[in-house]
Structure 1
Amino acid sequence: MNMPWLTILWVAPALGAVAALVVPSSRPGVAKAVAVGASLVTLAVAIGLAVGFDTSGARYQFVEDHSWIPAFGTRYALGLDGIGLVLVLLTAALLPLLLVAGWRDADGDGGSLDAAGGRRQKGPHTYVALTLAVEAMVLMSFVSLDILLFYIFFEAMLIPMYFLIGGFGTGPRRSAAAVKFLLYNLFGGLIMLAAVIGLYVVTARENLGDEGSGSFSLREIVDAVAAGTIDDGTGLAKMLFLGFMFAFAVKAPLWPFHSWLPDSAVAATPASAVLMMAVVDKVGTFAMLRFCLQLFPDAAQYFAPVICALAVVGIIYGAVLAIGQTDVMRLIAYTSISHFGFIILGIFALTSQGQAGSTLYMVNHGLSTAALFLVAGFLVSQRGSRLIADYGGVQKIAPLLAGTFLIAGLATLSLPGLAPFISEFLVLIGTFTRYPVAAVIASAALVLSAIYILWTYQRMMGGPPRPDTGSHPPIRDLAGRELVVVVPLLALLIGLGVYPKPLLDVVDPAVQHTLTTVGVTDPEPTVADPSGPGGPR
Structure 2
Amino acid sequence: MAGMPWLTVLIVVPLAAAALLWLVPPLHRVARPYGIAVSLVELALAVVMTTQFDTAAAGEIQLTEMAAWIPQLGVSYALGINGLGLAMVLLAVFLVPIVLLAAWREQEVVPDGQRVERRQMGFVALVLALEAVVVGVFAARDVFLFYVLFEAMLVPVYFLVGGYGGPRRRTAALKFLLYSLAGGLIMLVGVVALYIVGPGGEQGFLISNLVGSLETSVMGERLLFLAFFIAFAIKAPMWPVHTWLPDTAQQAPAGASVLLVGVLDKVGTFGMIALCLPLFPAASEWAAPVIIGLALVSIIYGGLLAVGQRDIMRLIAFTSVSHFGFIVLGIFIRDQVALTGAMVYMVAHGVSTAALFLVSGFLTRRGGTQEIPAYGGLQKAVPVLAGTFLVSGLASIALPGLSGFVPEYLVLLGTFRVSVVAGVVAVLGVIIAAVYLLLPYQRIFTGPTRDGLADLPDLGLRERWVMAPLVVAMLALGLYPGPVVDAVTPVADGIAVDQPVSIDTADPADQGGSAK
- TM-score bucket (shorter structure): over 0.9
Q: 1:533 aligns to what?
A: none
Do the aligned residues in 2 keep the contact of 1:23 with 1:31 (CA within 8 Å)? no
Establish whether residue 122 from structure 1 lines up as the match of residue 118 from structure 2.
Answer: yes
Q: In structure 2, what is the equivalent of residue 218 of structure 1?
A: 207
Q: Which residue does 1:39 correspond to in 2?
A: 39
Q: For each residue in 1:119-169, what CA deviation from the matched residue of structure 2 results, as whole angstroms up to 9, or x when unmatched?
A: 462111111111111111111000000000000000011011000000111
CA distance in 1, matches of 2:155, 2:334: 33
Call closer, same or farther: CA 1:295–1:397 in 2, change over 3 Å: same
Give distance in 2, aligned partners of 1:508 and 1:343: 15
Q: Following the alignment from structure 2 to structure 1, what is the Cα–Cα distance between the partners of residues 209 and 314?
A: 43
1:361 match: 345
* Residue 312 of structure 1: how far off its partner (Å): 0.4
Task: Give how far 1:10 is off.
Answer: 1.2
Mapped to 2, the partners of 1:231 and 1:167 lie a distance apart of 46
Shift in Å, 1:29: 4.8
Which residue number in structure 2 is paired with residue 209 of structure 1?
A: 201
Q: Secondary structure at the match of 2:309?
A: coil
Relative to the length of structure 2, the TM-score reads: 0.94
In structure 2, relative to structure 1, the CA distance for the partners of 1:263 and 1:508 (3 Å cut) is same
SS in 2 for 1:75: strand
Query: Residues 38, 119 of structure 1: CA spacing in aligned structure 2 closer, same or farther, 3 A cutoff?
Result: closer
Amino-acid identity (%): 47
Structure 2 gaps of 5+ residues are 503-507
* CA distance in 2: counterparts of 1:169 and 1:365, whole angstroms: 23
Aligned to 1:396: 380
- Choose the corresponding residue for 1:258, options 242, 246, 249: 242
Q: SS at 1:76's partner residue?
A: strand
Q: Indicate the RMSD between aligned Cα atoms, in angstroms.
A: 1.9
Residue 18 of structure 1: how far off its partner (Å) = 1.5
> How much has 1:520 moved relative to structure 2?
4.8
Matched, 1:188 2:183: yes
Once the 2 structures are TM-superposed, how far is the Cα of residue 24 of structure 1 from its aligned partner? 2.4
Report the alpha carbon displacement of residue 106 of structure 1 after superposing the two structures with TM.
Answer: 2.5
Q: Within 5 Å, which residues of 2 pair with 1:273-284?
A: 273-284=257-268
Q: Does 1:455 align with 2:439?
A: yes
1:420 and 2:404 aligned:
yes
Query: C-alpha separation between the residues in 1 aligned to 2:53 and 2:462?
Result: 33
Counterpart AA for 1:124:
Q
Corresponding position: 1:106 with 2:107:
yes
Give the aligned residue type for 2:48: G
Q: Equivalent residue for 1:467?
A: 451
Structure 2 CA distance for aligned equivalents of residues 104 and 23 of structure 1: 22
Q: Secondary structure at the match of 1:78?
A: strand
Contact 2:108 2:116 (C-alpha < 8 Å) held by counterparts: no
Q: CA deviation at 1:382?
A: 0.6
1:206-237 CA distance string (max 9 Å, x none): x4424xxx711100011xx1xxx435661011
- Unpaired runs of at least 5, structure 1: 529-537
Distance 1:347 1:85 in 2: 18
Count of residue pairs brought into register by the alignment: 505
Q: How does 1:8-157 map to 2 (within 5 A)?
A: 8-24=9-25, 28-57=28-57, 59-107=60-108, 119=115, 121-157=117-153
User: Residues 326-373 of structure 1, C-alpha deviation per residue, up to 9 Å, x if partnerless?
Assistant: 111111111010001001110001111111111110100011001111
Give the aligned residue type for 2:470: L
1:167 to 163, 176, 188: 163
Question: Could you tell me the TM-score, scaled by structure 1's length?
Answer: 0.91
Structure 1 counterpart of 2:492:
511
CA contact (8 A) 1:297 1:519 kept: no
Code of the residue aligned with 1:186 in structure 2: it is: L
What amino acid maps onto 1:376 in structure 2? S
Answering whether residue 224 of structure 2 is matched by residue 240 of structure 1, we say: yes
Match of 1:334 in 2: 318
Distance 1:450 1:525 in 2: 33
Alignment correspondent of 1:534: none
CA offset digits 1:11-41 (Å, max 9, x no partner): 111112112223426x645111121111111
Q: Is the radius of gyration larger for structure 1 or structure 2?
A: 1
Q: Is the 8 A contact 1:351 1:430 kept in 2?
A: yes
Q: Which amino acid aligns with 2:36?
A: V
C-alpha separation in 1, matches of 2:473 and 2:52: 21
Amino acid at match of 2:64: V
- Equivalence for 2:505: none
Q: Distance between the aligned counterparts of 2:454 and 2:280, measured in 1?
A: 56
Q: Residue deviations 1:431-481, cap 9 Å, x none?
A: 12122211110110111111111111111000111111xxx6941111111
**Matched residue, 2:270:** 286
SS of the residue aligned with 1:122? helix
2:182 maps to amino acid = F
Partner of 1:532: none
1:485 is aligned to 466
Question: Given that residues 143 and 191 in structure 2 are in contact (C-alpha distance below 8 angstroms), is that contact kept between their aligned partners in structure 1?
Answer: yes
Determine if contact 2:331/2:339 at 8 Å carries over to the other structure.
yes
In the alignment, is the contact (CA less than 8 A) between 1:352 and 1:522 conserved in 2? no
Which residue, out of 480, 491, 495, partners 1:499? 480
In 1, the alpha carbon distance for the partners of 2:509 and 2:479 equals: 28
